[in-house]
Structure 1
Amino acid sequence: MVGATRAGTTYLHHLLASHPDVFMPWIKELHYFNHDGRYASDLSGYLPMFDGYHGEALIGEATPLYCEKGVYFDRDGRFRFFREETTMARIARHFPEAKIIISLRDPITRIPSIHKKNFYQGKISTRLSEEINREMSGGSDGMNYIFRNRYDVHLEDVYRHFSKERVHVMIFEDWIGDVQRGMSGVSEFLGIPSLDVWPDIPDKKNTVGEYKKDHRPFEGIDPIDWDQALKNKVLDELAPMRAYVETLLGRAMPWETQK
């Protein structure tokens, strides 16, 4: 599972890990192929992460940053952008027959979700409007939220390395409203029996509430300060992306439009 962040991947990881035919490491987000301090061509640091495998039909992992083209961590663990070699290229080099799952979320709700997480974890101290305006002015030293939501760019990189038959694209707003149907689609794609989603399985959808606890206090600053005018500018920037995804999936997206 290679993406996207803040699009229900923690919940999907939990559901897949509970399937008897699937082995998933207990730890989500291994960050092996997108971390220059961990990646090695012999996979010497990767294979031990799957200790505990007991012959399940499928083995997988979930690191939702993998799908973001050119996004990586350098050897010192610093978040970087625009590397020529992509994470998907590395994955395809070692596992060309892998099956890829991607969950996409409306950028207008995903962007503030990413920003809140980063803010409450103390990774940034800027307001969302500052990040957006800096990127739209040509700056590339921020969080690059618009680029990170160019699903067309990221999916093209995925398809450059994996055929469309090996890629399953989900829409967060659709499957989170009918998890059983969503998991049935995943199971069919993976070729395994469908998993019954029981009511007592905890909802692992990521929310900012998970991060406010035990992280930097709110400090009286509202990190989400964009207005409709700024949202409309972002929607303009992402219009080619939306058209691409709607053409790819053959239907309109249940995402916010300009007002």
Structure 2
Amino acid sequence: MDVPPTPFVNFVVVGVQKAGTSALFHFLAQHPQVAMPTVKELHFFDDDRRCWDAPDYRDYHGRFPRRRGCVVGEATPSYIWWPGALARLADYNPRLKVIALFRDPVDRAHAHWRMSRARGLDALDFSTAIRAEGRRLDGLAPQAPERRHLSYVARGFYGQQVDRLYDVFPRRQVLMLRKEDLANDHAATLARVFAFLGLPPAKIEPCRIFEGAASEAPAPQDVAYLAATYAADLARFALLTGLPVSAWAGGCARGPAPADGRCG
């Protein structure tokens, strides 16, 4: 019996919350020459409990279908942010291709807080939480779950994250996208993604990904506080990526959050 080879992951999708990573995972899984796991976010390379001195990839590879003639990939957004995850990915496959999705960092912070509140992980209001973040996270163990749940401000420093990404992967192996690209220019953006992965074109219909009920926007003073906090880093991010960000730093967060987004 001709058994297909063990999958070897060729690409990952990384990025930030509610930036289109779920939609892109869904679209990629529909391409006939892409093999993806049945679930998004395997969280293999950001798992500090594993022995990374001599990593065992067998259980990781076991999550992927065995299909010949396919590129193999997964989507775990936090790989770009979690300490050590990018270096572990590079050790696993130095030729790995990385697709990174971003959104307005102020909008992202508010969405992150709403998610933590909905899950019962944070009792603070948004204004208090973003100003207390440094104190709340200071002294926590590196692997403490609060670092994932309460890092509303920290995860918005995209320039720092891209600097770390380019430290371990050459730019030719990285494709940078904004949430707006996938939502507003679906076909052209997917064509870029498929070309980046060396795949033939495929017609994939757009979808609507539920984002939760409409919610109150952050207060203007909180938008201003975060916009000022991110200003220098956002300039660095724009310089590194070439992505247009003039509408960011609060532009998306000033109106009510949508009940759903085309590809959010």
Using a 3 Å threshold, how does the CA distance of structure 1 residues 232 and 194 change in structure 2: closer, same or farther? same
Give the 3 Å change call, closer, same or farther, for CA 11–225 of structure 1 in structure 2: closer
User: Displacement of 1:252 after TM fit?
Assistant: 3.1
Q: CA deviation at 1:138?
A: 4.8
For 1:149 and 1:39, how far apart are their aligned partners in 2? 29
Number of equivalences = 227
Aligned to 1:169: 176
Secondary structure, in 3 states, of the residue corresponding to 1:36? coil
1:22 paired with 2:29, answer no
Measured after TM superposition, the shift of residue 227 of structure 1 is 1.5
Aligned twin of 2:45: 33
1:88–1:158 CA contact under 8 A, matched in 2: yes
Residue 255 of structure 1 pairs with residue 255 of structure 2: no
Instruction: Find the aligned partners of 1:238 and 1:184 in 2 and give their Cα distance.
Output: 31
What's the counterpart of residue 66 of structure 1? Answer: 79
Asked if 1 retains the 8 angstrom alpha-carbon contact of 2:30 and 2:204, the reply is no
State the one-letter code of the partner of 2:137.
S
* Correspondence 1:140 to 2:137: yes
Q: Which moved more, 1:168-177 or 1:59-68?
A: 168-177
> Which residue in the other structure is 1:215 paired with?
none
Following the alignment from structure 2 to structure 1, what is the Cα–Cα distance between the partners of residues 239 and 132? 30
Distance 1:257 1:108, change over 3 A: closer
What SS does the aligned partner of 1:238 have?
helix
- Residue 139 of structure 1: how far off its partner (Å): 4.3
SS in 1 for 2:88: helix
Cα distance in 1 for residues equivalent to 2:205 and 2:46? 34
Give the 3 Å change call, closer, same or farther, for CA 228–165 of structure 1 in structure 2: same
What's the TM-score once normalised by structure 1's chain length?
Answer: 0.80
Identify the residue that residue 115 of structure 1 maps to in structure 2. Answer: 113
* Cross-structure match for 2:186: 179
Q: Aligned pair in 2 of structure 1 residues 39, 114: CA closer, same or farther (>3 Å)?
A: farther
SS in structure 2 at match of 1:49: coil
Percent identical residues: 29
Provide the rounded CA distance (Å) in 2 between the counterparts of 1:146 and 1:244: 17
Q: How does 1:106-255 map to 2 (within 5 A)?
A: 106-135=104-133, 138-141=135-138, 143-198=150-205, 202-204=207-209, 207-209=211-213, 226-250=218-242, 252-253=244-245, 254-255=247-248
Q: How far apart are the structure 2 equivalents of 1:23 and 1:17?
A: 7
Structure 2 counterpart of 1:112, one-letter code: H
CA distance in structure 2 between the partners assigned to 1:97 and 1:240 by the alignment: 31
Deviation at 1:27, TM superposition (A): 0.7
- 1:249 shift after superposition: 3.3
Amino acid at match of 2:130: I
> SS where residue 79 of structure 2 aligns?
coil
Task: Give me the TM-score of the superposition, normalised by structure 2.
Answer: 0.78
Residue pair 1:115, 1:128 contacting (<8 A) in 2 also: yes
* Equivalent in 40, 47, 50 of residue 61 of structure 2: 47
Please give the alpha-carbon distance, in whole angstroms, between the structure 2 residues aligned to 1:38 and 1:63. Answer: 17
Take 1:95 and 1:251, find their aligned partners in 2: how far apart are those partners? 26
How far apart are 1:156 and its partner, in Å?
A: 0.9
Secondary structure at the residue paired with 1:45? helix
With over 3 angstroms needed to count, the CA separation of the structure-2 counterparts of 1:100 and 1:116, relative to structure 1, is same
Aligned residue number for residue 8 of structure 2: none
Unaligned runs of 5+ in 1: 71-85, 213-221
How much has 1:194 moved relative to structure 2? Answer: 2.1
Whole-Å Cα distance in 1 between the matches of residues 183 and 69 of structure 2?
26
